[in-house]
Structure formats: C-alpha cells, structure tokens
Structure 1
Amino acid sequence: MSAQIESEKAPTGPVPSEEEWEKTWLGTDDKPLAHADRPVTENLIKFVDRLTNGKSGSTIFLPLCGMSNDIKWLVDQGHRVIGLDIVEKSFRLFFEKYQMSFTVNDLPNIPNGKVFENEEKTIKLFKCNMFDFDVSLMEKVDGIWDCGALIVISTPDRPKYGQMLLSVLKPGGRILNQSYQFIWDDESKAAEMEAGSVYEDYPCPDVEEKDYHLLYGARCNIEYIGEKDVTNEPDWADMGVVSAKENIHLMTLK
C-alpha cells in the first residue's frame, strides 16, 4: 500500500461488518434483494466511452461492486474488471448466476481477505474491508466506475477513499461517478442520514458538488456530465424523500 495512504491519520468512521452489509444488500434468503441484482446501470451504458476514452480492452475497477450486473456487461464489451467488496456471498451469487467457473485464494496479511477470479481471467474480485485492502495487490487501471459507492462512505473516510481510487489509476485514468442528492420531507431525516440512518451509527450523507472538488480537484479535471430526477424510483420511494437527484461526474487524472 502506498505510503501516502498508510500515513493517512484522519479519523475513521464506523464501518459495517460483513454481516451487516450482507443483510442490508442481499437479505437473508438465497435469492438476493432486487437492488442487489438490478439491471445494468443506464449511465454506464450511456457513458462507457467517456469512462474508457473510447479505448477497447480497458481494465475497469468497481469499488463496492457486490454482485453487480455491470461487471458482466463490461466484460461482454471486451473490458477486464477488478472489483472489491466485503461480502463474499455476493461474489458467489454472481458467478453462480452467470455459471462461471472460478478460483478462490486467500489474500496475504488481510483479515478474511480472499480473491475470486474467473477461468478466463477477465474478472478478479477482491473480498475484504476496503480500508484493509493493499492496493499493491492489484495492477493500475484505466478507469473506475463508482456507482453509488461514494455515498455510502462515511464522511471521515472519504479522503482516504479518494486517495485509494487515485492511487490505482494509470496516468490519464478516469473515474465515472454516479451519486445522489436528496431533499427530505422532514429536515430531521437529513440529520439522521448524516448521523447514521442506513446502518446503526454509520453516517451516510449525500454527495454535494463541493465533495468532488475536495476529493479529486487537486489531481483531476472534473466534468459535470448531468443529472436525472430519480425521486419516484423504488430505492427512494419509502424513505421520506421529497426529491432525489442522480448526478454524474467524470474525473480525469491530470
């Protein structure tokens, strides 16, 4: 792991355990919850050429990827995918769904760390806590598809998260980010989100424009691509949201 990341002394927010993540994102049954097995993300399909700079055969990193169908879609487009998530079950469900043969090996010096890889070596998925991960175990990547990962990183951990992503990019590499902003029917709910409403004592604030510049502005050119009203989508319907806005940004390493 880079010295810069190792020397990061910012306080760390509480991080949900593997069991907490699994219950929240996959549920307790063998069949995963709908949001864990959602269709390929529209913004990835729409903006993949911006992410890859129009290049074929790119290597793309997906932080907090779960069992995302985006993984298979990217591979089908001729790219290679590296993913990272704490929930082992999500990887097994992914390979089972697509009937892929895979290997599993332990990660050295990482608590409960494992690496899953398909037979064709086009998919490599690291199972561990993100902040235990040693980035030297993966090669540099051409792009990062951050699909809602930043919004579930606690405020104290966001600088460390941003540093990690930048550290694995090749020169000129790109981060395509999909995040959200909310307006609540009750202001106290916004405060609860800041304090920890999704997980017990786990802060999960939305992502504002200034956050991209704080995390990436020193080393990246930042482009605001667009937004979409997602207020009526099932993810937010029962959360007491007056409006939910999906934002897309592209960060390119200088």
Structure 2
Amino acid sequence: MLEQQADRVMALGEWEERWQQNKIGFHQPEVHKMLKKNIDKALNGRTGVRFFFPLCGKAVDMKWLADMGHSVVGVEISEKAIRQFFEENNMMYTEEPVPAIPGAKVYKNSEKNISLYQCNLYNFSNSIEGQFGAIWDRASLVAVNPGDREKYAALIISLMANDCRYLLDTLLYNHDLYQGPPFFVPGEQVHSLFGEYYEK
C-alpha cells in the first residue's frame, strides 16, 4: 500500500519555493474544524497550555490558541510564511538568531507568547524549548518524506511532556492516483509510529 510513495522525496527547497510562488493550497484561512472539535480533549481541563506546531506555515490556528491564553511554538522552513503570519495578524515581532541551531532564526511576539523558528524541523529539539503540553499536527506528518517518518515520530515523542496531548490530522485517498505530498499515512502506521500514545 505504501510502496508507491516510499521513495518520494520533497527537498526543503521545494517547500520554500512553494511559499515563494504562493502555491500554498494546504494553507487554510480559517481555524481547522478538527482542532475546534477536539480542543477540549487537547486541553484536558488545563489552562495556559504550551502548544507545538511542527511545519506550522502561517496557520491561523496559532493565533486562535494564543488568543485563548495558550503559548505557541512553531517550526517552519519558510521565512516568508513566518513573516506573513505576523503581518497578516497585525502582530509586532522580533527576530533573533538561535545559537543552538546554526543559520536558524526565531521570530517572537511576546505579547501573545508566540515563537516561530525558521529552520529544518530535524534541527529542532527539546533542548531548544523544552517539552509541550499539546502538539497540533495539522499537515506535518503527511508532508514529511515517507522515509523520514520514524525520525519524525521520534522527534515528536521527544517533545511530549508527560501530560501531552497529540492531535494528528492525516489523509486517506487513492495513492495510485496521486504521489503526494500530502502523503498517505494509514492508521496502522500511525499506531506503529506512536504506539502507546495512539488513540483513534
């Protein structure tokens, strides 16, 4: 079932190019329905939760959560996406280098407690921002190269605090007709990647 996409590779430069050319059909202008529907499960009665957004783009979900008093940390390769997030939401931001990640920058809005790192996701680690109480994976697992899924899952698990809730959105489609991304990730693979953390 996964053989057709197993060798498909998207270089980081291709993602940056999509942002530069505004080929961002994956961006949603509204807060994702799945996040809204499952926000109580993600919060689990907690306030001031630290959310992690892998491959965050300029997701409006980040501001929605920040407006509720949660803090947000995202990682995105495209500088354009990060700048657009702050500009389109009329938010001031600072920009500074990240000493622990050569070439990386972090863009911050301290008022809303949002920090977005411009770097390769795999250069990010829990030594940079610690662990998180929630992770919203809207289109990240389905965007990473199929051959990198185990490495991706290991990173996500390392970022989970003991009480972390991981909300994951994947896609089902006929993979014979489309090579991705977004890539096809069947439920059984999600289970094998995340094991004890998995709940349908």
TM superposition score normalised by structure 2: 0.88
CA deviation after TM superposition for structure 1 residue 35, in Å: 3.8
Give 3-state SS (helix, strand or coil) of 2:72's partner: strand
Give the Cα–Cα distance (whole angstroms) in 1 for the partners of residues 60 and 110 of structure 2: 18
Match of 2:199 in 1: 223
Indicate yes or no: 2:38 matched with 1:52. no
CA deviation after TM superposition for structure 1 residue 15, in Å: 4.8
Unaligned runs of 5+ in 2: 1-6
Give 3-state SS (helix, strand or coil) of 2:170's partner: strand
1:167 aligned partner, one-letter code: S
Match of 2:99 in 1: 108
Indicate yes or no: 2:75 matched with 1:84. yes
CA displacement 1:61-108 (0-9 Å, x = unmatched): 010110000000011122111101111111100111111111111112
Give the Cα–Cα distance (whole angstroms) in 2 for the partners of residues 14 and 206 of structure 1: 13
Give 3-state SS (helix, strand or coil) of 1:99's partner: coil
Q: Select the residue among 11, 20, 31 that pairs with 1:16.
A: 11
* 1:100-249 paired onto structure 2 within 5 Å: 100-120=91-111, 122-183=113-174, 187=176, 189-190=177-178, 193=179, 197-198=180-181, 205-217=183-195, 219-220=196-197, 222-224=198-200
Give the Cα–Cα distance (whole angstroms) in 2 for the partners of residues 13 and 121 of structure 1: 38
CA displacement 1:107-146 (0-9 Å, x = unmatched): 1252421111103151011110111223311121101000
CA deviation after TM superposition for structure 1 residue 22, in Å: 2.8
Give the Cα–Cα distance (whole angstroms) in 2 for the partners of residues 13 and 129 of structure 1: 18
Give the Cα–Cα distance (whole angstroms) in 2 for the partners of residues 144 and 215 of structure 1: 15
Structure with the larger RCO, 1 or 2 (CA within 8 Å, 6+ apart):
2
Conservation of the 8 A alpha-carbon contact between 1:100 and 1:119: no
Match of 2:32 in 1: 41
Give the Cα–Cα distance (whole angstroms) in 1 for the partners of residues 28 and 194 of structure 2: 30
Say if 1:64 and 1:116 are closer, same or farther in 2 by CA, change over 3 A: same
TM superposition score normalised by structure 1: 0.70
Question: RMSD of the TM alignment (CA)?
Answer: 2.2
Conservation of the 8 A alpha-carbon contact between 2:66 and 2:112: no
Superposed structure 1 runs of 4+ greater than 3 Å apart? 12-15, 32-35
Unaligned runs of 5+ in 1: 1-11, 199-203, 225-254
Say if 1:183 and 1:14 are closer, same or farther in 2 by CA, change over 3 A: closer
Give the Cα–Cα distance (whole angstroms) in 1 for the partners of residues 24 and 143 of structure 2: 18
Taking only the aligned residue pairs, the percentage that are identical comes to: 32
Give the Cα–Cα distance (whole angstroms) in 1 for the partners of residues 28 and 139 of structure 2: 14
Match of 1:28 in 2: 21
